[in-house]
Amino acid sequence: MDTWQHTTVLLNEASDALITKPDATYVDATFGRGGHSRAILARLAPTGRLIAFDKDPEAVAAAQALDDARFSIRHEGFRHIGELPAASVAGVLLDLGVSSPQIDNPARGFSFRSDGPLDMRMDTTRGQSAAQWLATATVEHMTEVIRDYGEERFAFQVAKAIDARRQERGPVATTRELAELVARAVKTREPGQDPATRTFQALRIFVNAELEELQEALGASLDILAPGGRLVAISFHSLEDRIVKQFIAKHSREVVDRRVPFAEPAAMKLKALDRVKPSAAEVAANPRARSAIMRVAERTTA
């Protein structure tokens, strides 16, 4: 049983936006601890179905407590939603936030607030941990990752500090070691933000290939959504939200092939419906909701 609790962001707003046909099949592409899945199941008819995905073994284990014949879960990242049959689902929900049990458990290595192994993998059964990557990455590659995924203006100074530490005392192994090292390298920071915030975000995104997976999942959603089906995506930082926003915008307009000026334009595949932010009351009750943005689009009949 989890010691760490998770409060689902935009719980009712997401299921309201997602469900248009209670007897259809839906996808919760990031199960987490099941808050959205339970809300969806509560609104589905007996003939409805919910397929969940999550790459975190702890999330998959938590899903076993959800005893409902209409529900199934796959231990896979959400890029695998494209393996579902074409036009087979009435809605896809992407909650792109890191769940509180991942952040709050020091053993997972996501947070600079407590000491633990510098892991950061969503799926602890495969792939390279943050510590393993930092042990061998070049200064140039570290700079690029921390700058591009963390939007950290002191990325080069952080990378140089990590490299100097490796040469003097060996690789960084724990979250506290990294946080202290970053704090010395980052000279100024926004009021109220820990100096390590952006570096930790960058490493988590890189280690888990989060942005690449998001782009794959968005593309796959066009294939698996039936006409009239909803895409609902909840982002928590600007890099994710920009990808979602641009994807919806790109597919919400007709495409003209300039090489064939008299040809009929390709029909748009999505219709943008809404942009929702948490209420002041939700943010007051759950400060981690403050940066959330939910975008909603509908699959057209094209």
Per-residue pLDDT tens over the stretch 222-244? 999 999 999 999 999 999 999 99
For the chain, the domains span 11-101+210-299, 124-207
Higher pLDDT, 50 or 101: 50
Residue 266's pLDDT is what?
Answer: 61
**30/52 Cα distance (integer angstroms):** 7
User: Among candidates 242, 99, 120, 249, which has minimal Cα distance to 175?
Assistant: 120
Per-residue pLDDT tens over the stretch 93-139? 999 988 777 787 888 988 888 899 999 999 999 999 999 999 999 99
Asked whether residue 201 carries a pLDDT value surpassing 90, the answer given is yes
Residue 146's pLDDT is what?
Answer: 98
Asked whether residue 2 carries a pLDDT value surpassing 50, the answer given is no
Report the share of the chain in percent with pLDDT over 90.
Answer: 81
For the four alpha carbons of 7, 107, 180 and 97, in that order, the dihedral sign comes to negative
**268/152 Cα distance (integer angstroms):** 36
User: Among candidates 199, 193, 70, which has minimal Cα distance to 133?
Assistant: 199
Per-residue pLDDT tens over the stretch 57-83? 999 999 999 999 999 999 999 999 999
Residue 254's pLDDT is what?
Answer: 67
Residue 191's pLDDT is what?
Answer: 78
The correct answer on CATH 3.40.50.150 for the domain covering 11-101+210-299 is yes
Per-residue pLDDT tens over the stretch 261-300? 665 666 789 999 999 999 999 999 998 899 999 999 999 9
Give the model's confidence band at 7: pLDDT under 50 very low, under 70 low, under 90 confident, else very high: confident
Mean pLDDT of the chain: 92
Give the model's confidence band at 3: pLDDT under 50 very low, under 70 low, under 90 confident, else very high: very low
Could you give the maximum distance between any two Cα atoms of the chain, in Å? 67
**237/292 Cα distance (integer angstroms):** 7
Per-residue pLDDT tens over the stretch 144-198? 999 999 999 999 999 999 999 999 999 999 999 999 999 999 987 777 788 999 9
**197/182 Cα distance (integer angstroms):** 9
Decide: 25 and 72 in contact? Cβ < 8 Å.
no
pTM, to two decimals: 0.90
Asked whether residue 34 carries a pLDDT value surpassing 70, the answer given is yes
**21/47 Cα distance (integer angstroms):** 11
CATH code for residues 124-207: 1.10.150.170
Residue 267's pLDDT is what?
Answer: 73
Torsion of CA 144, 145, 148, 149, to 10 degrees: -170
On the question of a common fold for 11-101+210-299 and 124-207, the answer reads: no
